[in-house]
Amino acid sequence: MFDKLAGVEERFCQLEQLLSDPKVLQDRGAFQKYSREHADLSDIVNVFRIYKQTDRELDESLELLKDADPEIKSMAKEEFDRLTARKAELEEQLKYLLIPKDPLDEKNVLLEIRAGTGGDEAGLFAADLYKMYNKYAESRHWSMEIMDLHSTGVGGVKEIIVLVKGKGAYSRLKYESGTHRVQRVPTTETQGRIHTSAVTVAVLPEAEDVEVQIDPSELRIDVFRSSGPGGQSVNTTDSAVRVTHLPTGLVVSCQDEKSQHKNKAKALKVLRARLLDKMIQEQDAKRSQDRKNQVGSGDRSERIRTYNFPQGRMTDHRIGLTLYRLDSILQGDIDEIIDSLIAYYQSQALQNAQ
């Protein structure tokens, strides 16, 4: 590990020299590239330097322990114990910092929420989950733009696709992918029986044009009249757009905007994200036969969480986390859940790297 850290520090010093090179300063592309790499390495180099300084101080206190003066020896023992504990903390911190960063972490997110089994109740809970993520996005000063929305007739959501824009959106939301199960008494249930339904959530990193290039000749574009609630022109013009990617069979429909051009642009954005996600899933499958060992794979077939209303309980089944504050969770207070998931998957990555 320390040979690797020494190499990282050496590269950091090289980057500092490159960033002061007049030729690099004149090359905007190169300067931005080296600046990003320098920023990425700065945390780990700073901690490594503190670790080395702590190690030197530990050697000095070890020498003082040999002093004949009992008072100096006692002070040296206290300092030695403090530095030993500090060194161990820094060592653990360095192990985590050496875990390769997910290159997608800083990306915006396409959040797709779909009602699953459970009829109208599933649609109502899909709407609840959308509100939960919306409030969470507000708390982090992210913006949310609805790309497509299919409502149910009772105030629920059959499907909603939202673009979440903000720093670190993917890093915070990527573990939300999966099946979310709800257990509660529906408002339509006269017998007071608990009903179980499910909603699926997919979190896709937004794809840039340079990452996923789409050949227009491989697309089939269909236009049709929008359905459902909306403005005056929603049901009277062919503004809705359906885009089919012929090589993969992926289909994306958007009807949220009154403009056909805006719907097409949104549909292509969603399609690009799904194609990037497909590429990532295929790469992960090639790297490992066992998808369970893939950190952050976001297997959307997996039941990840249960929201039990009678008990006021939320349980995340992946990490065995249970919280009895369902009301605040549905109001977007989910940082504790997300932080616990990040810590769990980081520890998994650390074990896999050893």
Do 122 and 83 reside in the same domain of the chain? Answer: no
- Between strands 178-184 and 157-165, the pairing is unpaired
Do 206 and 221 reside in the same domain of the chain? Answer: no
Do 114 and 205 reside in the same domain of the chain? Answer: yes
**Using one digit for the tens of pLDDT, what is the confidence trace for 162-207?**
999 998 899 999 999 999 999 998 876 667 788 899 999 999 888 7
State the CB neighbour count (10 A cutoff) for residue 230: 16
What's the pLDDT band for 131 if we cut at 50, 70, 90? very high
pLDDT at 283: 63
What's the pLDDT band for 48 if we cut at 50, 70, 90? confident
Number of structural domains, the chain?
Answer: 3
**Using one digit for the tens of pLDDT, what is the confidence trace for 231-244?**
444 455 667 888 88
Rounded distance between C-alpha atoms, residue 63 and residue 65, angstroms: 5
CB 247 within 8 A of CB 225: no
Do 120 and 191 reside in the same domain of the chain? Answer: yes
In the chain, the amino acid numbered 137 is A
Tell the residue number behind the tokens 């002093």, with chain if given.
67
Rounded distance between C-alpha atoms, residue 258 and residue 147, angstroms: 12
Do 315 and 235 reside in the same domain of the chain? Answer: no
Give the closest residue to 297 by CA, choosing from 211, 198, 178, 199.
178
Mean pLDDT over the full length of the chain: 83
- What residues make up the domain containing 78? 2-97
If you compute the radius of gyration of the chain from its CA atoms, what whole number of angstroms results? 26
Rounded distance between C-alpha atoms, residue 326 and residue 310, angstroms: 10
Do 327 and 269 reside in the same domain of the chain? Answer: no
State the CB neighbour count (10 A cutoff) for residue 260: 17
pLDDT at 143: 94
**Using one digit for the tens of pLDDT, what is the confidence trace for 249-305?**
888 888 877 778 788 888 888 888 888 888 777 766 654 443 343 333 334 457 899
Query: 292 lies in a domain?
Result: no
Do 205 and 220 reside in the same domain of the chain? Answer: no
Name residue 203's beta-bridge partners. 111
pLDDT at residue 226 is higher than 90: no
Which tokens sit at 188? Answer: 């339509």
Query: 291 lies in a domain?
Result: no
Rounded distance between C-alpha atoms, residue 195 and residue 181, angstroms: 10
Q: Which helix (H) or strand (E) is 109 found in, with range?
A: strand 109-115
Helices and strands (DSSP H and E) totals, the chain: 9, 11
Mean predicted confidence (pLDDT) in 63-91: 86
Rounded distance between C-alpha atoms, residue 66 and residue 136, angstroms: 57
Do 198 and 313 reside in the same domain of the chain? Answer: yes
Instruction: Check which CATH number belongs to the domain holding 48 and give it.
Output: 1.20.58
Where is the domain boundary, 251, 284, 317? Answer: 284
Query: 135 lies in a domain?
Result: yes
Do 116 and 196 reside in the same domain of the chain? Answer: yes
Question: Which of the residue ranges 10-19, 127-136, 186-195 would you say has the lowest mean pLDDT?
Answer: 186-195
Query: 295 lies in a domain?
Result: no
What is the reported pTM? Answer: 0.66
Query: 155 lies in a domain?
Result: yes
